Amino acid sequence: MTRDEAQALLDSCELHALLGLELLQFEPGRVRFRFAPPASARAGEGGAIHGGALATALDTAATFAVISSIGADATTVDLRLDYLRPAVGAELTVDGATVRAGRRFAFADATARADDGRIVASARGTFTW
């Protein structure tokens, strides 16, 4: 799957753009997003990002890592989310990485980092296709 095809897949659901999720890198097993959620996905102006918006960004990054590994669309079977620190910045960097892609399912991770490099939230999930 090319980066353009991955972008088209991302564009096929408006929620990604509404939440300020932008694809920066798409390489086999490794993807990166810029995540700049609007005020509507925060607890008030400049407030903490909603855990569900973070979940969406992490799930998307982990899923796209799997997609980049297997070359086809994938869906989440289950996901663990850890909210390590308050997510208050204007913008986060969200990385997805495939941990292992087998014949029938894959494991992938995602991390959301603040400007200072600290992880504010992370995820580990199982995916299938």
Binding mask 48-77 for its own copies (x = CB under 8 A): --xxxx-xxx-xx--x-----------xxx
Nearer residue to its own copies within complex by CB, 76 or 93 = 76
Binding mask 75-94 for its own copies (x = CB under 8 A): xxxxxxxxxxx---------
Collect all residues with Cβ–Cβ distance below 8 Å to 8 and sequence separation of at least 6: none
What are the φ and ψ backbone dihedral angles of 13, each rounded to 5 degrees?
Answer: -125, 120
Report how far residue 58's alpha carbon sits from residue 52's, in angstroms, rounded to the nearest whole number.
10
Question: Where does this chain bind its own copies (CB under 8 A)?
Answer: 12-15, 18-19, 39-44, 50-53, 55-57, 59-60, 63, 75-85, 99-100, 104-105, 107, 119, 122, 124, 126, 128
